[in-house]
Amino acid sequence: MRNMKHQNCWDFWNCSHEVRDDCPAFLTYHGMDCFDFAENYCPRIIAEFQDCRECPWYKKIKLDFDAEEIKA
């Protein structure tokens, strides 16, 4: 299970209520693994990058989780 101290994607991006209210990651509270739930929804894909792996938040959270796994 992922540590809840980490920020959710909608907080990182400061998403508007309109965006969050339709977001599959927000609606299912998967803000730390939105790339598994909301890739087809995220308005930043296409507008800012083409794939979740290019997302600055994804890169940050992946580094954080990789570092935690090494410590464990």
Sequence ranges of the domains in the chain:
29-72
The predicted model gives 16-38 an average pLDDT of: 91
The encoded tokens of residue 16 equal 């508007």
Residue type at 15 in one-letter notation: C
For range 43-48, the mean pLDDT: 87
- The pLDDT score that the predictor gives to residue 2 is 45
CA distance 44 to 62: 18
Res 15 pLDDT > 90: yes
Closest to 44 measured CA to CA, from 58, 33, 30: 58
Copy the structure tokens of residue 25.
Answer: 């990651």
Percentage above 70 pLDDT, the chain: 85
The answer to whether residue 64 scores a pLDDT higher than 60 is yes
pLDDT at residue number 5: 64
Q: What is the mean pLDDT of residues 15-33?
A: 92
CA geometry: angle at 53 spanning 48 and 58, to 5°? 90
